[in-house]
Chains A and B, each alone.
Chain A
Amino acid sequence: MPSRPMIGYTHVTKSFGSLRAVDDLSLDIAGGEFVAIVGGSGSGKTTLLRLANRLIEADGGTITVEGDDVKNVDPVALRRRIGYVFQSGGLFPHLSVADNIGITPKLLGAPVADIDARVDELLALVQLDRAAHRDRLPEALSGGQRQRVGVARALAAGPRIVLMDEPFGALDPLTRDALGDDYRALHRKLGLTTVMITHDMTEAILLADRIAVMRGGRLLAQGTPAELSTSSDAYVLDLLRTPRRQVQRLNTLLPSSGAA
């Protein structure tokens, strides 16, 4: 583990009323890493993500982003330097695709011409046709296209960190697969540090370098898929075995010829 993590959680606690959403959790995420946070509903994974850009304030513990304690960073400035991909896109329905993508550079005061050029660059990056999509409103896009715009928006201000809250959860399987792969390629190409929330272990194994498993606000286990497979925790093992179990069942149900 490098001495200075890109994102560092140290004994972080957050409660909502009597519910402990995050309970004494410590986790370091290194620069360039792709970490998936996995857990059931209510395990605290979304809370953990939002603590990083101060959409939620921690009750206790320390959170650092690029070495800075987030408590000492203006939350608005912090959010502008961290890309965030929302669950169902979170695109502003009254703004065109281009205006949605260009919003953070605009907030940062970038010149209009620079924003225009950046939008075109990002459309190409997320593989959307400029002419067909640039001036459309989000309602005229498919779910996959909307999420591509969401990714482009998160990347617009050139962040080093991207937080993703179940970004591909609501998509059909084919789109989801394609989008996941495309994002993984972008992550590598741009040298990003990505934290992605998912409840789908298969997606986590296929995309992430490292997986953190949460349950009841605590970090149950963390490591590469291979490391996790040697875990002593029954829940972790059960989660990890699920993809393979599904594959075995699929193999018995589908004829093996045809598909590669």
Chain B
Amino acid sequence: MSLFTDPRWGEALSHLPDYLGNHVRVSLAALALGLAISLPLAILTRNRPAPRAILLAFASIVQTVPGLALLALFYPLLLAAASVTLAWFGISFSAFGFLPAMLALALYSMLPVLRNGITGLNGIDPALIEAAKGVGMTPRQSLLMVELPLALPVMMAGIRTAAVWVIGTATLSTPIGQTSLGNYIFAGLQTQNWVFVLFGCFASALLALAVDQLLGLIESGLRHRSRLRTGLGGIGIAALVVATLVPTMSRSSQGYVVGAKTFAEQYVLSALLRERLQAAGLSATARSGLGSSVIFEALKAGDIDLYVDYSGTLWANQLHRTDIKPRAELLADLKTALAKDNITLLGELGFENAYALVIPKKRAEALGIRDISDLAAHASTLSIAGDYEFFSRPEWAALQKTYGLQFRAQRQMQPDFMYAAVASGEVDVIAGYTSDGLIAKYDLVALDDPRHAIPPYDAILLLAPKRAGDEKLQAALKPLLGRIDIATMREANLRASGNDANSSPDAVAQWLWEKVGRR
């Protein structure tokens, strides 16, 4: 199949109105807010060196925070703020999606606007400011008629830089629940769908370029006092916003929002849940690529209606428990604890996606390693890789403590690349996932955990508080409970890791339903 006839282009295109629209709205809102804060600050501090230095230092520090981290930081921050406003004023707001993304991006846009604004205003010949005073201008008239017009080219350059940065960084707002062109990139990277990755990159680059050119048109219009050019640029940007609003307004109510974390299995399960809901005559949309802690809070707050989590994850991260209980007991405790937050644990899907220490089968045989106890004896000569959160999770601490594991080196890796890395010997051991299809593909083995250091990780279906009594929803989902065994899920995950049209989450979800639905 040639790259251009790949049906995934069509699928990507079908998401464009939604992804692009959200991307444009959050970027332009952030930019507008950023400008509304930064421009007045630049103007106010133009003759005050001390506050100016503090402001620029602050903006520079913000800029050194990676975009993804900045976006992720705003989520808990707003969550805390929302609980405070709820307690004090009885008003709560959603800390999910648009608001944290817009605030973080607005902050991100400040440095170029501030720096260029201040540079532009301070770069004006003092004799001209004196002349403005001399001909009888008030400070305000001097600012509007002389200083701002003269600083305009430098200021606009800053605004254009900020616009490009914000549009680029907005692709990283997917994990905090803001739909953006980043949805293509995150989903594409997780499901090895390079068509999506390319599509997302090109779309955001084109958008950045288009907005930059429109701002350039406005700048040239202002500079040459051409109402036509300024108007055309303004109309262009307004048209962009309006065009992205139309599909949103014409779309009917969103229905159920199905969440998914940032890995392939979650994309597949989310697609499966949506297909089941649609088959039952309910409408459903996806909110995919959400961060692991964001997704639970989003469910609690009702920003999403349902998703699949794993018992051990919630046990450790939400209940902050470090003890380990047998599977059934842990599930029962979890169900009771979640019920306090009015979250429904509808049931388990049937498979576990636990962390497991994984090594190549041949290597295990050569070293005589059957379980983690055996591994501990060799650990000091071996290196281990895990995903971005593994080494800060309680499971890792428990593993180290229980088995006295001391590896020669540890590194973090994108989960998709870990399996190939251990298969090729680049690392010796990885902290993989038991349901991962790549274990079979690369002929790897997940080592047993005889002392139960790792808690059980049953895949469980969670419903938001507002869906607690929703019988229609529950009836549509019940057929899935207990149906998906580990072998089936591994095969589904392996299919999803392929790079063709049959590996899209929707296609795999269909395959999965055909397989388990008949049972």
Contacts from A to B (Cβ < 8 Å) = 53, 55, 76-77, 79-80, 84, 86-88, 90-94, 103-104, 107-108, 153, 157
- Of the listed residues B131, B135, B141, the one surrounded by the most CB atoms of chain A closer than 10 A to its CB is B135
The one of A55, A77, A87, A103 in contact with B133, judged by C-beta atoms closer than 8 angstroms, is A55
Give chain B residues whose Cβ lies under 8 Å from the Cβ of A76. 136-138
Q: Indicate whether B134 reaches chain A with its CB closer than 8 angstroms.
A: yes
Q: Indicate whether B149 reaches chain A with its CB closer than 8 angstroms.
A: yes
Given contacts A55-B130, A86-B130, contact A94 B149 (CB under 8 A): yes
- Decide: A107 and B141 in contact? CB cutoff 8 A: yes
- In whole Å, how far is B230's beta carbon from the nearest beta carbon of chain A? 15
- In whole Å, how far is B149's beta carbon from the nearest beta carbon of chain A? 5
- Of the listed residues A80, A84, A88, the one surrounded by the most CB atoms of chain B closer than 10 A to its CB is A84
- Decide: B137 and A94 in contact? CB cutoff 8 A: no
Given contacts A76-B137, A104-B136, contact A90 B127 (CB under 8 A): yes
Q: Nearest A residue to B124 by beta-carbon distance?
A: A93
Given contacts A103-B135, A104-B136, contact A93 B150 (CB under 8 A): yes
Interface residues of B in 131-159 (CB under 8 A from A): 131-138, 141, 145-146, 149-150
- Decide: B150 and A94 in contact? CB cutoff 8 A: yes
The one of A77, A88, A94, A107 in contact with B135, judged by C-beta atoms closer than 8 angstroms, is A107
- In whole Å, how far is A153's beta carbon from the nearest beta carbon of chain B? 7
Q: What is the size, in residues, of chain B's interface with A at 8 Å between Cβ atoms?
A: 16
Give chain B residues whose Cβ lies under 8 Å from the Cβ of A88. 127
Interface of B (DSSP majority class): helix
The one of A86, A107, A108 in contact with B131, judged by C-beta atoms closer than 8 angstroms, is A86
Q: Indicate whether B128 reaches chain A with its CB closer than 8 angstroms.
A: yes
Q: Nearest B residue to A54 by beta-carbon distance?
A: B133
Give chain A residues whose Cβ lies under 8 Å from the Cβ of B141. 107
Give chain A residues whose Cβ lies under 8 Å from the Cβ of B149. 94
A53-B134, A79-B134 known, 19 other contacts, Cβ within 8 Å: A55-B130, A79-B133, A79-B136, A86-B131, A90-B127, A90-B130, A90-B131, A90-B134, A92-B128, A93-B150, A94-B150, A103-B135, A104-B135, A104-B136, A107-B136, A107-B137, A107-B141, A108-B136, A153-B135
- Decide: A92 and B136 in contact? CB cutoff 8 A: no
Would you mind naming 27 contact pairs between A and B with Cβ atoms under 8 Å apart?
A55-B130, A55-B133, A76-B136, A79-B135, A79-B136, A80-B136, A84-B134, A86-B130, A88-B127, A90-B128, A90-B134, A92-B128, A92-B131, A92-B132, A92-B146, A92-B150, A93-B150, A94-B146, A94-B150, A103-B135, A103-B137, A103-B145, A104-B135, A107-B136, A107-B137, A107-B141, A153-B135
Cα of A23 to Cα of B141 in the assembled complex, Å: 33
- In whole Å, how far is B141's beta carbon from the nearest beta carbon of chain A? 7
Cα of A93 to Cα of B150 in the assembled complex, Å: 8
Q: Nearest B residue to A157 by beta-carbon distance?
A: B136
Given contacts A90-B130, A92-B128, contact A84 B138 (CB under 8 A): no
Give chain A residues whose Cβ lies under 8 Å from the Cβ of B145. 92, 103
